[in-house]
């Protein structure tokens, strides 16, 4: 979808219900190891990162980049508070949808969504680096800006940011400026991440703001999307 992401196209879509999963709550400090597939995990999995999987010889069946998202079947009523468990996967479903749409536009398939404290979807966005000719047009930055405009205030206290890839240092710093309450991300990014990798912005003494962070939510799904995208880029054109 080529539409600008400044305006959330989902309206006031409520946060869908929590799937009956056994996901453990995994705050930034004291994350416990989780071995279940797609469960939050403390240890980055290099094999699931987009770059490291490029050389894989395996060529699994590749669903289209814009395959329908497994949308929640029974959304909660508007105004329903977000689930207590920050590892709930429902917000990430919205971010995954935005990521697939970004991939379909030829952008690196990363998507993000911001939910208000009352569970309302405030904004969703995919990467628009190519469309805007703007290297800083990362999905989460666009989504946070749109959410703040929607609320009519510059900060997003109590809001949840779901993003399909560990935010880079720029976006992590922006999340601190926006005072995001919780960051939920899917795939870890050992090369470009700024939360669990690189500068680890929220672990630093004197950090401006420390959101609750949960990584690894639907990690495999997000990493597979990125892997397929980069693999297709490297594939030589058909004769
Ligand atoms: Zn970023």
- Mind giving me the DSSP string for 12-78? TPBPPPPPS--PPP--STTPPP--STT---SS--GGGSTTTTTT---------TTPPP---SSPPPT
Which residue would you say has higher pLDDT here, 79 or 183? 183
Question: Mean of the pLDDT values across residues 219-233?
Answer: 94
Which residue would you say has higher pLDDT here, 33 or 214? 214
Catalytic site residue from 34, 124, 128, 140: 140
Distance 147 CA to ligand 1 centre (A): 16
Work out the mean pLDDT of the chain and round it to a whole number.
75
- Examine the pLDDT at 232 and tell me if it is beyond 50: yes
Active site residue 51: no
Distance 83 CA to ligand 1 centre (A): 26
**Residue 85 — very low, low, confident or very high, per pLDDT cuts 50/70/90?**
low
Question: Mean of the pLDDT values across residues 56-75?
Answer: 41
**Residue 60 — very low, low, confident or very high, per pLDDT cuts 50/70/90?**
very low
Distance 172 CA to ligand 1 centre (A): 7
Cross-strand bridge partners of residue 162 = 113, 184
Tell me the pLDDT tens digit for each residue of 86-95: 567 789 999 9
Q: 98, 124 in Cβ contact below 8 A?
A: yes
Question: Mean of the pLDDT values across residues 63-77?
Answer: 42
| Distance set, CA 52 to CA 4, 46, 49, 57 (Å) | 31, 6, 6, 12
Distance 173 CA to ligand 1 centre (A): 9
Q: What is the pLDDT of residue 235?
A: 80
Distance 39 CA to ligand 1 centre (A): 23
Range of lowest pLDDT (31-40, 62-71, 132-141, 189-198): 31-40
C-alpha 153: how far from chain center: 23
pTM tops 0.75, yes or no: no
Which residue would you say has higher pLDDT here, 230 or 29? 230
Tell how strand 121-126 and strand 160-165 pair up: unpaired
Residue ranges with CB less than 5 Å from ion ligand 1: 138, 168, 170-171
Distance 238 CA to ligand 1 centre (A): 33
| Distance set, CA 171 to CA 15, 112, 136 (Å) | 23, 11, 9
Q: 193, 110 in Cβ contact below 8 A?
A: no
Q: What is the pLDDT of residue 86?
A: 58
- Examine the pLDDT at 154 and tell me if it is beyond 80: yes
Distance 102 CA to ligand 1 centre (A): 15
First to last CA, the chain: 29
Which residue would you say has higher pLDDT here, 117 or 39? 117
Q: 63, 224 in Cβ contact below 8 A?
A: no
Q: What is the pLDDT of residue 197?
A: 97
Tell me the pLDDT tens digit for each residue of 178-203: 999 999 999 999 999 999 999 999 99
Place of tokens 């590892």: 87
Computed on alpha carbons and rounded to an integer, the radius of gyration of the chain in Å comes to 17
Q: What is the pLDDT of residue 81?
A: 53
**Residue 233 — very low, low, confident or very high, per pLDDT cuts 50/70/90?**
confident
């Amino acid at each position: 979808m080529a539409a600008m992401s400044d305006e959330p196209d989902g309206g006031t879509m409520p946060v869908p219900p929590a799937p009956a999963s056994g996901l453990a709550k995994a705050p930034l400090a004291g994350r416990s190891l989780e071995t279940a597939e797609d469960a939050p995990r403390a240890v980055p999995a290099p094999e699931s990162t987009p770059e490291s999987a490029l050389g894989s010889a395996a060529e699994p069946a590749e669903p289209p980049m814009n395959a329908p998202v497994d949308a929640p079947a029974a959304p909660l009523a508007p105004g329903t508070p977000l689930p207590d468990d920050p590892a709930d996967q429902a917000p990430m479903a919205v971010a995954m949808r935005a990521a697939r749409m970004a991939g379909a536009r030829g952008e690196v398939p990363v998507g993000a969504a911001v939910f208000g404290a009352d569970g309302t979807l405030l904004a969703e966005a995919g990467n628009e680096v190519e469309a805007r000719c703007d290297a800083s047009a990362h999905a989460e930055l666009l989504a946070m800006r749109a959410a703040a405009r929607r609320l009519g205030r510059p900060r997003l206290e109590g809001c949840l940011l779901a993003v399909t890839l560990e935010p880079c240092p720029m976006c992590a710093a922006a999340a601190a400026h926006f005072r995001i309450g919780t960051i939920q991300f899917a795939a870890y990014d050992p090369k470009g991440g700024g939360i669990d990798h690189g500068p680890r912005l929220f672990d630093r003494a004197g950090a401006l703001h420390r959101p609750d962070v949960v990584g690894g939510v639907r990690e495999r799904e997000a990493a597979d999307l990125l892997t397929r995208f980069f693999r297709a880029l490297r594939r030589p054109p058909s004769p």
